[in-house]
Chain A
Amino acid sequence: MSDAKPLSLYVPEPEFRPGDKPDFSNVEIPQAGAAPRPPIDVEAGDIRDLAYTIIRVMNREGDAVGPWADMLNDDQLKEGLEDMVRVRAFDARMLMAQRQGKTSFYMQALGEEAIACAFSKALQPGDMNFPTYRQQGLLLSTDYPMVDMMNQIYSNAADPLKGRQLPIMYCSKEHGFFTISGNLATQFIQGVGWAMASAIKGDTKIATSWIGEGSTAENDFHSALVFASTYRAPVVLNIVNNQWAISTFQGIARGKAATFASRGLGFGIPSLRVDGNDYLAVYAVAKWAVDRARAGHGPTLIEHVTYRMGGHSTSDDPSAYRSKEEATSWPLGDPVERLKEYLIKRGVWSDAQHHQMQEMLEMQVAEAQKQAEKNGTLHDGPHSSPATVFDDVYHEMPLHLRRQRQEAGL
């Protein structure tokens, strides 16, 4: 008989659960400005450390320091702040609209606004994003009309997607926003394919792929890394590590083994971790990776370290699985507050100006909502014609569908 002890399965657990007092003092937050800024044609192996540290620009005193600083001027930063506040105002209104029964569902980006807002500024018209459902900032920081986003959320008569997609699953080819899939991770590899096509055609456009840290466990994440690295695709692969995948903490997708960024190293993909709550750092790293892709040096993997302050979606109650104080104890702070403080310290912004901007944006959002609601809401039509249910399944409607439409009397 064996004298071995019975085995037991290791199942990682987050450090804090409801009722616990979160203490993040053991989370290592490197000093702002400490990370070097390599040339864009660097080899993955030469910047291994950047996959384990966190690139930060704004320090705790509210200064921008180090080699990744000074890439944006004051006006650009004020615009960035405005973009983030717009996203926040938009989210708050639409969350409310969902609570009022005007739509079925909503997903906010509270706490993560800097990532999409800053990243979009590094892109050029014609580039294509393959986003997840938490990158509304990619649209709200560009000239995409808010009303159209709301029309989509309400599935109303003016919904560009004819009421076919869950709220927030926007799409606009013109604005470089690929149609969002409800199936996690599938689009990570599609973005790589788009980038490969751009390279095949000798184009100058690049693609970005987006994924949550929980979804990196999906096969398509790994397919994307192997394709991107094999063909040196002009793509930026973004992991948004907001610590939580619904109620599942990030440890379930990786164990405690390594950072998410470090997964790129095995593929020879330069991989960086960035403070996702630092607008300046996100922009600087995005610009570096975008320039790299456009110059033909291939893919970059970026892990944006952030925290999902809100619920996963309107169907979620985070107080059931995590400590109430976790969001406010999170050591990287609030991206809006941080950029605001930074600009105030620089003497180019004030609380009064901030307040005024906030009010103006809230009014803009409210005005857009009024416009959108003229086209109807989910339960209070009008909607697109039911006959459109049969459209766009195929380029031309096949006989069996024509018969079904006829039978339906549409």
Chain B
Amino acid sequence: MSRMTMIQAIRSGMDNAMEKDDNVVVFGEDVGFFGGVFRCTQGLQEKYGRQRCFDAPISESGIVGAAIGMAAYGIRPCVEIQFADYMYPAYDQITQEASRIRYRSANDFTVPIVVRMPTGGGIFGGQTHSQSPEALFAHVSGIKTVIPSNPYDAKGLLISAIEDEDPVMFLEPKRLYNGPFDGHHDRPVTPWSKHEFGEVPDDYYTVPLGKAAVRREGADVTVLVYGTMVYVAEAAAEEAGVDAEIIDLRTILPLDLEAIEESVRKTGRCVIVHEATKTCGFGAELMAVVAESCFYHLEAPIIRVTGYDTPYPHAHEWEYFPGPKRVGDALKKVMEAA
């Protein structure tokens, strides 16, 4: 056990995976000698050599396209896209190639790749360093999408993603990279070392994909949430004094339908929180899932609290970022409904 930041945990995950399986190869912009702009891959090139951890040209479609070819050969690339905002040039390779090669080849070729990318706002990254594109992945059949909320999960989920036989998009909330977040931007954060989730085994372990975690048990309302917003939801529940059950989805596809249904049937209320824009965001899918399968258990309309349908505004990040106040208001509102 060590106390780790999410960056260290992710690095440790790659390290363990590379140690265990010499087919695991890591590459991306700046990930080699330098260890990546967030230093997630620091030391891997030194330890495993340039054949297994190396810098890539600034060509996201090249990075993912090459990873696909490598995976088709039989190795396991875990690539880094420097920011989720820069996956768009690779979107074609991800959504029309990686996602379908198993299907269109009738299982003759498979491409188990992992595409890691820092996601979300809250670090004043402006509109091109703050995006949350998870819904764009979730809409596509054949890929999986993972968003951890703490160092322990990040490492265990990443190892699962590397072991997984399908292409996995691994979105790392950069607001949580260096330490936890209490949901409030204007308060100093306690380091992960004071937080239970900072405790990360040094050895190889997995956290299964497709399984949600109950972060807080509650009787009155289910909050469906993932990534950075888990902490906003926790703060909101405390401050609004609502007995909320907080479900950290961890994987949005495959989605833990059973955990969602069980919780909503119990509480009869549901609030959905994400940082991405609202319209056609992943919250819309969650709402649909809840409406389809739990309608007769609902005692109040489902509410979404999300980023606004605008690009991420640099100077106004904190107004944009759904904070505990907005989430708390939503919790109170669903509780008021008869």
Contacts and interface: CB of A to CB of B under 8 A. Distances in A.
A256 interface: no
Nearest to B257: A399
Nearest to A394: B166
B65 A392 contact: no
Nearest to A384: B106
A336 interface: no
B164 A395 contact: yes
Contacts of B69: 130, 189-197, 207
Contact of B66 (A171, A189, A391): A189
B240 interface: no
Contact of B61 (A128, A181, A223, A392): A223
Nearest to B59: A223
B301 interface: no
B104 interface: yes
A161 B100 CA distance: 12
Contacts of A186: 65, 92-93, 96-97
Interface magnitude class on chain A:
35 or more
B329 to A, nearest CB: 31
Contacts of B66: 189-190, 192-193, 196, 223, 227
Contacts of B253: 398
Contact of B67 (A162, A193, A398, A399): A193
A197 B70 contact: yes
Contacts, number: 153
A395 B165 contact: yes
B104 A179 contact: yes
List the 10 closest A-B pairs by CB distance, nearest first.
A193-B69, A223-B62, A193-B66, A189-B65, A395-B165, A398-B254, A197-B73, A194-B69, A197-B70, A190-B69
Interface string B57-98: 101011001111111111101000000000001001100110
Interface of B: 23, 25, 51-52, 56-57, 59, 61-62, 65-75, 77, 89, 92-93, 96-97, 101-110, 141-142, 144, 164-166, 210, 253-255, 257-258
A393 B258 contact: no
B103 A392 contact: yes
A224 interface: yes
B176 to A, nearest CB: 26
16 contacts: A160-B106, A161-B104, A171-B104, A171-B109, A178-B109, A181-B97, A193-B77, A194-B69, A223-B62, A223-B66, A227-B56, A393-B141, A395-B164, A395-B166, A399-B210, A400-B255
B287 to A, nearest CB: 15
A223 B106 CA distance: 27
A161 B105 CA distance: 6
Interface string A71-94: 000000000000000000000000
**Most B Cβ at <10 Å: residue of A186, A187, A195, A391:** A186
Nearest to A202: B51
Given A200-B25, A207-B69, A398-B210, A219 B109 contact: no
A171 B72 contact: no
A226 interface: yes
User: Helix, strand, loop or mixed for chain B's interface?
Assistant: mixed
Contacts of B165: 394-396
A60 interface: no
A226 B97 contact: no
Nearest to A170: B105
Contacts of A196: 66, 69-70
A124 B241 CA distance: 70
B250 to A, nearest CB: 14
Contacts of A173: 105, 108-109
A248 interface: no
B280 to A, nearest CB: 18
A370 interface: no
A355 interface: no
A189 to B, nearest CB: 3
Contact of B142 (A161, A188, A195, A393): A393
B182 to A, nearest CB: 34
